[in-house]
A and B are shown apart, each in its own frame.
Chain A
Amino acid sequence: GQQLNQSPQSMFIQEGEDVSMNCTSSSIFNTWLWYKQDPGEGPVLLIALYKAGELTSNGRLTAQFGITRKDSFLNISASIPSDVGIYFCAGRAATGGGNKLTFGTGTQLKVEL
């Protein structure tokens, strides 16, 4: 099955730093979603993107739907300890996928005080 390439796999940053991560696909997507998973919990939706070029913010989080429709980016500004967790991208294929999502392998974020 199709997988998304998500990078980096993990990041260890200092509190207050900005964070960037991205996701790429070999297929064109018509939806990109970014989820965060805390330890022992299910993924929680952070941001949803529906149009190529779209830039959407949710507090300190900003995500972009790539122009090629094959990638997406998530930025976190001024990281804080509660940003720790695993961030997943997910995409919905433009054709043939129905309502199914394909998930990236995750970026594990660790924040040093």
Chain B
Amino acid sequence: NAGVTQTPKFQVLKTGQSMTLQCAQDMNHNSMYWYRQDPGMGLRLIYYSASEGTTDKGEVPNGYNVSRLNKREFSLRLESAAPSQTSVYFCASSKAGGPSDTQYFGPGTRLTVL
């Protein structure tokens, strides 16, 4: 089991460029999440997908779109990157169901927007 995998590991973009961050999990989890991590801010939820076919906004969704491609894969797209989107992006997944549900994280994508 690889758990949660993310690609790419690092990316540098110019302002206005677009890109898609990929995430996949092999734990047969129902729910998937995208977070961003900035210094001193902890992790903030961008979007999540409670189950295949559904997506919802989190705390900081502006400038992002997501696609739950299938049960395994959840992608995050930046249509027109801005320097404020320089961050580390983490994908997570969970089985979903009840307060005992636990989220498992991928290794992260380090994005710099110039």
Q: How many residues of B contact A (CB 8 A)?
A: 28
Q: Is the beta-carbon distance between A30 and B99 smaller than 8 angstroms?
A: yes
Q: Is the beta-carbon distance between B90 and A50 smaller than 8 angstroms?
A: no
B107 CB contact (under 8 Å) in A1, A6, A41, A104 = A41
Which residues from chain A contact B92 at a C-beta distance below 8 Å? 42
**Contact of B31 with A by CB under 8 A:** yes
Which residues from chain B contact A100 at a C-beta distance below 8 Å? 45, 48, 58
**Contact of A88 with B by CB under 8 A:** yes
CB of B30 to closest CB in A, whole Å: 10
Q: How many residues of A contact B (CB 8 A)?
A: 28
A1 CB contact (under 8 Å) in B44, B50, B90 = B44
Q: Is the beta-carbon distance between B100 and A104 smaller than 8 angstroms?
A: no
CB of B37 to closest CB in A, whole Å: 9
B105 CB contact (under 8 Å) in A30, A31, A43, A99 = A43
Q: Is the beta-carbon distance between A31 and B100 smaller than 8 angstroms?
A: yes
A-contacting residues, B44-70, CB 8 Å: 44-45, 48, 50, 58-60
Task: Give 10 A-B pairs besides A42-B92, A99-B48, A99-B94 with Cβ atoms closer than 8 angstroms.
Answer: A1-B45, A1-B59, A3-B42, A33-B103, A40-B107, A43-B105, A44-B105, A48-B100, A99-B101, A103-B43
